[in-house]
Amino acid sequence: MEYHILKIKGGYMKTVIDLDGNEIQVADDTVVRTATVKEEVVIGQDLNGNDVTKLINVSKHYLLSSEEQDAIAQKEVAEQNRQLLAKPEELRKKLSLGTVTVNGVTVRCNDATLGSIASTIMFFDKLGGNAPSTVAWKAENGFFDVTPAQVNQLGLAVFNKRQKMFSSAKTVEAEVADGTLTTLAEVTARYNELMEA
């Protein structure tokens, strides 16, 4: 028989089987073990008055032992910690979809943009005095002819914002690990506070 752990919901009392095999009523949010079992039930009578039965699947709910409750509580704490530690990285990735604007040119803060900027800077450096004075650049807000100095400024702005995202995520993860931050709302608020500082 395969068991599943679930939390009873539905807004009304449910019948469950306690550890002694007795049926009892429990309210919402009671965590139980549930299993589907086959039971023979009477579905009617034939023309001779004999009961007609059928095997049907019935869900049975069982109260958990204290050991099962402890194991579930530990899993819930571990999952909450996993979510708390994952949140700064999620926020950082979301912000990397954001933009910075330098001299009216708006670019994203993602890996692709940083790579394009780096390769353009290398292009200018490699050509030295033979480099064109400007190159066409597709930004978030249109096309621009940008100079080597402007490309360097864009690169620095993207780099600085990305470093702030990483350092903010590092700080928040440390504060989660030491127990300073204990909820997703606190993690989000602290990350945003660090990014705005």
DSSP per position, 17-29:
E-TTS-EEEE-TT
Strands 23-26 and 14-17: antiparallel
pTM summary value: 0.60
151 φ, ψ (degrees, to nearest 5): -65, -40
pLDDT at residue 2 is higher than 70: no
**pLDDT band for position 22 (50/70/90)?**
confident
Residue 165: other Cβ atoms inside 10 A: 23
Q: Assess contact for 52 and 46: CB atoms under 8 A.
A: yes
Cβ atoms of residues 119 and 137 within 8 Å: no
Per-residue pLDDT reduced to its tens digit, 91-123: 888 877 788 999 999 999 888 998 999 999 998
Percent of the chain scoring above 90 in pLDDT: 36
Could you list the beta-strand ranges (E) of the chain. Answer: 3-7, 14-17, 23-26, 31-45, 51-63, 99-102, 105-108, 135-139, 142-146
| Position 7 confidence tier, pLDDT thresholds 50, 70, 90 | low
